[in-house]
Amino acid sequence: MRSASAWSRRVFVSALAAVAAGSAGADVLMAQDFPEEHRFGYEGPFEAEIVPVVRRELVEAGEVSTSRESPSFAYQQGQRVVVQYTALCDIESTNPDSWLDIDIRVIGEVVRILPPTAGNSQHFCGAREGPQTKTVRAVIANLPTGHYRLEVIARINDPGEPPSSTIARLGRSTLIVSK
């Protein structure tokens, strides 16, 4: 793994740039910065984990949001809303073809994985790349009016035989919902 202090500096600068780029010229409905590193691993062909998006419990409009779900945001039917998740990503694996996929799930009146993030074919970062800041965007459309929250699901994919030992690391991240 790379140096923790270099990792933190790169993530901090990357996260600030992502927030500025994501909110420029848009109405931000919800923005969340998660300053801590999230690390998980496995030995096998597949592993998925819900990534923390808030550092502590937040009380917002009488609602408690856990560390695995975003704060809620209001959605009006017919709106087109863009969700952007940005994080510094690094994969260490005995299989250089391993990669990390990110799915974004909306939770509320309806629960679904947002396109185009559904499935495991969206390569977020890979073992051959080294640490890089990556962004995935999804669009919310045609949901009933209501309050919604988001979950970010990270999935390690390892196509090798035999299964390898893989560690995924997501650094400081931002989750932005804008219209």
Tens of pLDDT, residues 140-149: 988 999 999 9
Please, what is the Cα angle at 114 between 111 and 117, to 5 degrees?
135
Range of lowest pLDDT (34-38, 54-58, 92-96, 124-128): 54-58
12 — phi, psi (to 5°)?
-60, -50
Residue 21 φ/ψ region, left for φ over 0, alpha for ψ in the -120 to 50 degree band, beta for the rest: alpha
What is the rounded CA–CA span in Å between residue 107 and residue 114? 10
Using alpha carbons, list the distances in angstroms from residue 32 to 29, 47, 82, 162.
10, 25, 14, 38
pLDDT(135) > 90: yes
DSSP 131: S
**How high does pLDDT run on average in the chain?**
75
Most confident segment among 43-47, 61-65, 108-112: 108-112
Q: How confident is the model at residue 172 (pLDDT cuts 50, 70, 90)?
A: confident
pLDDT(65) > 70: no
Please, what is the Cα angle at 161 between 155 and 164, to 5 degrees?
50
CB atoms under 10 Å from CB of 7, counted, come to 18
Q: How confident is the model at residue 48 (pLDDT cuts 50, 70, 90)?
A: low
Q: What is the mean pLDDT of residues 45-67?
A: 49
The one-letter amino acid code at 82 reads V
For the segment 106-122, what is each residue's pLDDT rounded down to a tens digit?
Answer: 999 888 888 877 777 77
What is the rounded CA–CA span in Å between residue 139 and residue 121? 18
What is the rounded CA–CA span in Å between residue 14 and residue 131? 12
Three-class DSSP category at 48 = strand
DSSP 36: S
Q: How confident is the model at residue 178 (pLDDT cuts 50, 70, 90)?
A: very high
In DSSP terms, which residues pair with 43 in a beta bridge? 165
pLDDT at 114 (0 to 100): 86
Global pTM reads 0.76
* Token pair for 47: 């592993």
For the segment 6-30, what is each residue's pLDDT rounded down to a tens digit?
Answer: 544 444 444 444 444 544 567 999 8
